[in-house]
Structure 1
Amino acid sequence: MSEFLYLPDATLEELGIGTGEVADAIEAAIRDKAEGRLFDSPKAAILPGDSRYMMSTLAVGNTEELTVLKTVTVSPDNPARDLPAINGAILVLDARTGLLRALVGANWVTAVRTAALSVVAARRLADPQSKSVAFVGCGTQAHSHLAAFAEMFPLDKVFAIGRGRANVDRLCETARGMGLAAEAPEDPEAALREADLVVTSVTLDYSIEPFLDARWLKPGAFAAITDLGIPWFDAGFAALDSVVIDDRTQEAAMEKKLIAPERVDADLTELVAGAPLAFDAEKTGAFLFRGIAVGDYAAAALAVQRAEARGAGQRIPL
């Protein structure tokens, strides 16, 4: 009898997989793609109204012989329902037979792979001695990036900026619990002018009026922009010295571009392959991205392999 492995988000969190491990797995997957061992399709996204955002990614890897399909819904009204704003599921299939191998929770994967994608870029573009980070948007992605960057940089200060007071307070509390100073300034400009690192993760809602300007970033600062650039003034992006996106092919397929194509210096494949971009104390850098199938593939494959090795999760007959 065939069976599949069920790995809900709570089980995934218990596996103890670090963001750095996921970043390493993403880099390996990017190399596999560049060398013809992994195949993916551009991210699909639908905005059906009421600020909801549905997306899916698909990738097939010949190294692990897996097919990974993720579907996620962002529902801004969910917190009022006492539900997470982001929910979904991931199907992990045997790439040879098509049989279901695992059903994986999407929330953990989405959080950790997004932060891990930022880590891949930050390894090349951010000051390794970064001490301060400003978060604009204080939800799940802020927490996952805080955990990732705290492992990577000698942080000592966090700025938390957001519309939801409870989320801001929760992020500050988490930062203080890690031994970091935490502030919740009213003025995002002051925070961006001081911070070594900036992470923006506002609600994916194009009705939001821009309120951030890349011209506020100090020399040497690095920004991880996870929210499609929604809160940023387009004109300010001209001030960025280095701009990396996640995938040029995917971006070319998108009707609404993250940034003018001529402003892009590299995508992640080019960056991992050795594009001549590096931290410069006199220049600003940014990673502006919408998420790619390679990231979801790498995180889900790593989780399934770790769970199988440890006997974690629940086996369910097909």
Structure 2
Amino acid sequence: MTSFEHLPILSADDVERALTRDRAAAALTRALRAGLEPSADLERSVLDVAGGQLLLMPSAGASAVGLKTVTLAAGNPGRGLPRIQGAYLLFDAETLELRAIMDGIAVTNLRTPAVSVAATAPLLTRFTRPIELVVFGAGPQAVGHVDAIRAGGSVEPADVTYVVRHPDRAREQLPPRTTVVAADSPDLTVRLGRAQVVVCATSARTPLFDSAHLTDGTVVIAVGSHEPDVRELDGSLMARANVVVEDVRTALREAGDVVLAIREGHLHADGLIPMADVVRGTRTLAPDRTAVFKSVGMSWQDLVVAEEIMEQHRRGPMT
């Protein structure tokens, strides 16, 4: 029986202290190279409740079972509360004894950019000079992706531009002297044309930009949408790109950027490239062709990261 008196309960600060994004990316890479199959992951459930939605994300591995429970309450910002909240439960795989409880949003904020880095590290080696990075959004995931790309070591950002709807508001939460441009700024097309990497981490429901402004060979990371009827990228981009996804079946069910492009005739399901193939090196993508990594987030990723968090937490603060 679980002793709750001695049960580890990790706050957001505990999660952040325990594991860096580059170590989380390394853990995900090791798991895929060791044979983890994303297609075998358990499906998540989205339940409508009176206050909004309840998301349940279970996963079962060889040594642990995990469940992330996330709530979405659209009215919470008006109450001074976060729109998204959650907790992660980590169990022993054999006994199903509860081993730890973690801040679920902190796990997500750590996991998402780590997945992007693990998936795109083999693609970013195409850039031999410091890159120009354009990031749509200025929230935790946008900033987290910039930090993760810097820490990943595959490339060195020479310049980072955040693209937002309200620049003044974004500047208040970003580091001083950060370059911020408005989404409707004429300067954006120039910056997109110079960018080697573009990150989309927004709640947009329609394409963020005209992909005609991107040069061939650009790497695009899209993590903001996980519903089949919303998108951050236009169909034209999906037509000209190698499209990498975490799992083909999941992408066809949840990734609006993929689902809508297929519906429009820009993309074919049999052309989707599983992330595992790229990470394992069984599929090499031409460096002169634009690449898109479309992520919706999967439960196996949370479990891998949660186990690594606990391993590092037990070892004590990193040096």
Provide the rounded CA distance (Å) in 1 between the counterparts of 2:193 and 2:53: 31
1:107-122 equivalence runs, <5 A: 107-122=105-120
Distance 1:83 1:249, change over 3 A: same
Q: Percent identity?
A: 23
1:300 paired to 2:306: yes
Deviation at 1:84, TM superposition (A): 3.4
Distance 1:144 1:263, change over 3 A: farther
Q: Deviations over 1:232-285 (max 9, x none)?
A: 222432122x110011232345496734343644111222222322461x2211
Other-structure match for 2:16: 13
Provide the rounded CA distance (Å) in 1 between the counterparts of 2:200 and 2:48: 20
Q: What letter matches 2:299 in structure 1?
A: A
**What's the TM-score once normalised by structure 2's chain length?**
0.81
Is the 1:200–1:224 Cα contact (8 Å) retained in structure 2?
Answer: yes
Is the 2:164–2:180 Cα contact (8 Å) retained in structure 1?
Answer: no
1:63-74 equivalence runs, <5 A: 65-74=63-72
1:42-191 equivalence runs, <5 A: 42-45=43-46, 54-62=54-62, 65-75=63-73, 77-126=75-124, 127-128=126-127, 129-151=129-151, 152=153, 153-165=155-167, 168-170=170-172, 172-173=174-175, 176=177, 182-185=179-182, 186-187=184-185, 188-191=188-191
Deviation at 1:80, TM superposition (A): 4.0
Distance 1:155 1:256, change over 3 A: closer
Provide the rounded CA distance (Å) in 2 between the counterparts of 1:263 and 1:302: 33
Provide the rounded CA distance (Å) in 2 between the counterparts of 1:89 and 1:264: 36
Is the 2:217–2:291 Cα contact (8 Å) retained in structure 1?
Answer: yes
What secondary structure, in the 3-state scheme, does the structure 2 residue paired with 1:41 have? coil
Is the 1:72–1:106 Cα contact (8 Å) retained in structure 2?
Answer: yes
Provide the rounded CA distance (Å) in 2 between the counterparts of 1:173 and 1:21: 24
Is the 1:113–1:299 Cα contact (8 Å) retained in structure 2?
Answer: yes
Other-structure match for 2:42: 41
1:220-259 equivalence runs, <5 A: 220-228=217-225, 230-240=231-241, 242-254=242-254, 258-259=258-259
Deviation at 1:221, TM superposition (A): 1.2
Is the 2:85–2:104 Cα contact (8 Å) retained in structure 1?
Answer: yes
Is the 1:266–1:275 Cα contact (8 Å) retained in structure 2?
Answer: no
Is the 2:69–2:86 Cα contact (8 Å) retained in structure 1?
Answer: yes
Is the 1:258–1:289 Cα contact (8 Å) retained in structure 2?
Answer: no
Q: Which runs of 5+ in 2 are unaligned?
A: 263-267
Is the 1:222–1:286 Cα contact (8 Å) retained in structure 2?
Answer: yes
Distance 1:166 1:108, change over 3 A: farther
Number of equivalenced pairs = 297
**Structure with greater contact order relative to length (CA < 8 Å, sep ≥ 6):** 1
Q: Deviations over 1:55-95 (max 9, x none)?
A: 33222221xx1101112234455444433343111110111
Provide the rounded CA distance (Å) in 1 between the counterparts of 2:193 and 2:270: 22
Is the 2:41–2:59 Cα contact (8 Å) retained in structure 1?
Answer: yes
Provide the rounded CA distance (Å) in 2 between the counterparts of 1:222 and 1:263: 21
Q: Deviations over 1:157-194 (max 9, x none)?
A: 111112244552146426x4xxxx62424434333222
Deviation at 1:97, TM superposition (A): 0.8
**What's the TM-score once normalised by structure 1's chain length?**
0.81
Q: Which runs of 5+ in 1 are unaligned?
A: 313-318
Provide the rounded CA distance (Å) in 2 between the counterparts of 1:143 and 1:216: 23
Other-structure match for 1:285: 291
